Each structure stands twice: as structure tokens, then as C-alpha cells.
Amino acid sequence: MPSLLKQDHRYYSQFYDSDRKPNRKKVPLKTSRKRSAKQAHRRLVDAWATGEFDPWRDNPQTFREQGVQSPTLSVASSQFLDAKETEGLSSRTLNSYRGRLSGFRSEVGDKTVDTIGPEDIEAYCKDQNVSTSTRHTRFRVLRSFFGWLEENGAISERPTESVTPPNRPQDFPRPVSEDELEQICEAVRSDYEQKKEMNGVRQGDIIWRERAFRWSYLTGMRLEEIARLRWTHIDDAKGLVLIPENKSGRPQTVPLIRRAVKVLGDAKKDHKKTEAEYFVFRSPRANPTERNIGSWKRHHTTKFTHYRKKAGLSDEITHHSLRHGTASRLAEAGKTATTIKEFLRHSSIDTSMKYVRMSNEQLRNEVDSVFS
């Protein structure tokens, strides 16, 4: 029975035949991934058993099972996206993958994936006409795509392995400060009071956005998560907020701090009635249990921009700056990257470290100004 071997971090298939010389033939699988190696080994063993592959004579890298052809880029892309959707990737991530793969197909043509080489990857991922961030994202998507193709036997080796990754973008998002948050919230309150005097607003209307803006800053929750937040997700007894589905489709929890509890109290006062299945942040005129999440997010973001402009603040401040402000505030208070990662639920501690480094840079500049 042929065996799967690992030597120097690479995998091989070893075949044995007492009638051949040498008796044992070791075939390189050209992968360091166990899963990919098992799949490649199984294909070669099956083909050897049927007489379609001779390890003493045939080149395993050019061998293909009879009648099987490499899929085109469009077919492979569709299969890849279906597989990733099954794995639970968010619609946002899937759309990003879809857009990058479509752009790559427009660049190289709809050829079979086994004919795509490193030069094709280089041309698409190092295009100087697009931003550093776009170049990096393109490469990240293609690396995932071709890795999946290799694991599933569509190609023998990933062309991305021979390409040096583009530089990672160094731009850092503009965090909102607590003082700036107060100015934005004051713009909301001012708008509410003016319209209230004119009898042009219901109780709780408009002002609920102030609660939502504060909540975003105090919890670090993403806009999508806030849009889906219902009262049933608030666990007062445990002091936690349940997020049934984060951007990767997994459930998470957020600690409920005292100031956030006060925001919830204010949000309850905005409405005559609150049920477990009601959305936490909503207009009193809105359906309490049903909403178009995408439409709500767009409208809420537009309103944030409106009040940020009324407060006379920088255009660099966006709704996502509230979440960045949370992380920056923790870093400025001397909290570790691990604490920031746990509270903000970053997938990688590298993201959290950016806030710590930024805080250290700010501290250095302030001290330097004193002694200069």
C-alpha cells in the first residue's frame, strides 16, 4: 500500500513494487500542507490502482485523471464562493471576494486556472494605478482562492507562492475623541429641542440617535451589530451584550459597562413600550421588530455625517471612527493590546497593536514638546 511521507516539512507519496527497480519510488507532492498532501496522495494512489498513473514513469505534476480538465477561472470562482458561503463567511466578505475575482478575470481572461502563472498575479496585485490598500486586498483574496484550488486538487501548486506580497497599507483610521463625540451628541440634542418646540417631532424621535452614537463609542460595536441589536440580546444579570452573529458569522459577547447601562436606560425612556424582540435603537415611528438592515445602516450613517457637519468637525470622522475611538481611548489609558483585542473582538492582535503604537507615538510627541 502506498504511503504518505513527510520530510523536511514537505510531503511525498511513496510507492512499492517488488518487480520494479528501485523497489520504492518516492514522488514529491510539492506541498507542506497536510490536507493538500492527503488529497494529492489519494488521487495518485487511485490512478495507480487503475493503471492510469505510473510513478516510475509519469510526472505527477503534469498528470491528470483521464477526462478531467482544469476549470476555467469563472467556474472555479463560483465554486470557491459557494464553498466560502457554506463555511459561514459574511455577505460583505463574499462580495469583496467576488469583486476582486471578477476584476482578476477581466485582467487575465477566463482561462483555465492551471494556466495562470505568477506573472498574472504580479500584474493584477502590483498595479500602481490603484491604492496600496487595494493592491494588498487583491493579493490576499487571490492567495486564499489559489490555496483553496490547491487543496481541492484543481492545481498542483499555487502561483501566489512565487509572488512577493504587496506592502501592507500604513494608513490608520481617524478615531473620534470623547470631546468630539460630545459635540456630535450636542448637535443631535439641539436639533431635537428646536423641533420639539415647534411640535415637529414625537417624544423620543431624533434623540434616539444620540443614544446610538454613544452606545457605539462605549461598546465598540460595529454598525451592523448595532442595527441588529434587540432588547433580548441584553443580559442585565450577567452584564453582557450578546451579539448573535459578528462579521464572521459567529456569536460573541461584549461587557456591559456602567455608562453603557445608562444609555440603555435613556433608550427605554424614549419609548412608551419595550418588548424583548424590539430593536434597541429606533425611531418611535419605525416598526419595532422588522427592518431592512442595509437601509437602516445607510440612513444612520448619513445622519451621523449630518450631525458631524453641524458640529463643525473634520470630514475624516466617519461613523466607524466611533469604534476606532473606543480602541484609541483604551490605548491612551494604558491598556494592553490583549485587553483591546478582547473588548473590540479583533480577529488578530496585530490590529490591536496599531492602537498601542499610535498611543505611544502620541505620548512621545507630547513629552518631546515639553523638553524641546
Q: What is the pLDDT of residues 137-196, one digit of tens each?
A: 899 999 999 988 988 778 878 899 889 988 766 556 689 999 999 999 999 999 999 888
Instruction: Return the C-alpha cell found at 156.
Output: 498542483
Please give the angle made by the CA atoms of 354, 359 and 362, to the nearest 5 degrees: 125
Residues 122-136: tens digit of each pLDDT? 999 988 888 787 888
Q: What pLDDT sits at residue 180? A: 95
What are 89-119's pLDDT values in tens digits?
Answer: 778 888 989 999 999 999 999 999 989 999 9
Domains of the chain, first to last:
1-68 (no CATH), 73-162 (1.10.150.130), 178-367 (1.10.443.10)
222 contacts 323 by C-beta, under 8 angstroms: yes
pLDDT of residue 67: 44
Bridge partners (DSSP) of residue 11 are 6
| pLDDT at position 278 | 97
pTM above threshold 0.85: no
The DSSP string of 192-258 is HHHHHHTT-S-TTTTTHHHHHHHHHHHH---HHHHHT-BGGGEETTTTEEEES--TTS--EEEE--H
Q: Is the pLDDT of residue 68 over 90?
A: no
Give the containing element (helix H, strand E) for 12.
Answer: strand 10-16
Tell me what the mean pLDDT of segment 51-70 comes to: 70
